[in-house]
């Protein structure tokens, strides 16, 4: 296990899904600390949830392991943010082969900008590979049930956004802190192609 290593997992997390949470918890098997960083672009932000709302949801999700997982947000180039946080690794999730070409391109650009910054690719868990924040929002907006795909607190917030009321108790998924589960885009949908942060990596 890498000692005293800080890994950054960037994305839009609009909202965070069980796929994202799964990826974070698996990352903790390899690295000591993970910063789950929301890539923010105020001038072009069409997100459903504000940055403040997303940060609050993530902090609730990772309550209990907040000593190793921290929710944060940033603007500008991911590589500059990583340097400020003294991180040496960027975590990216891959759901399918189609994700790889774009992720590889961004990883190479980030490496060119900051040669000491590495990108660590992780495959999405088999039960979450089809989940994305975009798909979750689309299903909820059409009246579909996404329980089991997002943490309980996120399910409640989604219901409030689209229906103006709280979801039934029987539709509540267990909290991610109890059930380990993965920027969009593998759960890393970061703003951009499937969204990534901004700049090189988004």
Of 8, 15, 190, 1, the closest CA to residue 103 belongs to 190
In angstroms, the CA 30 to CA 1 distance is 5
Instruction: Please pick, among 12, 20, 40, 47, the residue that the annotation labels catalytic.
Output: 20
Q: Is 59 a catalytic residue?
A: no
Q: Which of 29, 44, 84, 86 is catalytic?
A: 44
Strands, DSSP E only, in the chain? Answer: 6-11, 33-39, 69-74, 89-94, 118-123
**Residue that is written with structure tokens 């944060």 in the block:** 72
Answer yes or no: 111 catalytic.
Answer: no
User: Which of 25, 26, 54, 95 is an active site residue?
Assistant: 95
- Paired residues of 72 in beta bridges: 37
Encoded tokens for 75: 């603007």
Q: What distance in Å separates the CA atoms of residue 177 and residue 196, rounded to the nearest whole number?
A: 25
Active site residue 187: no
Nearest of 179, 151, 129, 196 to residue 17 by alpha carbon: 151
Is 132 among the catalytic positions? Answer: no
Q: From 105, 100, 144, 101, select the one nearest 123 (Cα to Cα).
A: 100
User: Are 11 and 1 a contacting pair, CB within 8 Å?
Assistant: no
Q: Where are the beta strands (DSSP E) in 63-145?
A: 69-74, 89-94, 118-123
Please list the active-site residues. Answer: 20, 44, 95, 133
């Amino acid at each position: 296990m890498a000692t005293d290593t800080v890994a950054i997992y960037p994305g839009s997390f609009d909202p965070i899904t069980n796929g994202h949470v799964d990826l974070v918890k698996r990352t903790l098997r390899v690295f000591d600390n993970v910063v789950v960083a929301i890539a923010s672009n105020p001038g072009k932000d069409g997100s459903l949830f504000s940055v403040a709302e997303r940060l609050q949801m993530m902090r609730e999700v990772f309550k209990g392991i907040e000593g190793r997982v921290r929710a944060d947000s940033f603007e500008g180039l991911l590589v500059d943010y990583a340097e400020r946080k003294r991180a040496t690794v960027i975590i990216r999730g891959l759901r399918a082969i189609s994700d790889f070409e774009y992720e590889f391109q961004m990883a190479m650009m980030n490496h060119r900008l900051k040669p000491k910054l590495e990108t660590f690719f992780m495959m999405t868990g088999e039960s979450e590979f089809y989940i994305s924040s975009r798909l979750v929002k689309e299903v909820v907006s059409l009246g579909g049930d996404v329980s089991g795909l997002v943490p309980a607190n996120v399910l409640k917030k989604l219901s409030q956004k689209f229906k103006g009321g709280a979801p039934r108790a029987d539709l509540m998924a267990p909290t991610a802190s109890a059930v380990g589960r993965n920027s969009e885009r593998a759960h890393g949908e970061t703003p951009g192609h499937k969204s990534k942060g901004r700049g090189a990596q988004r």
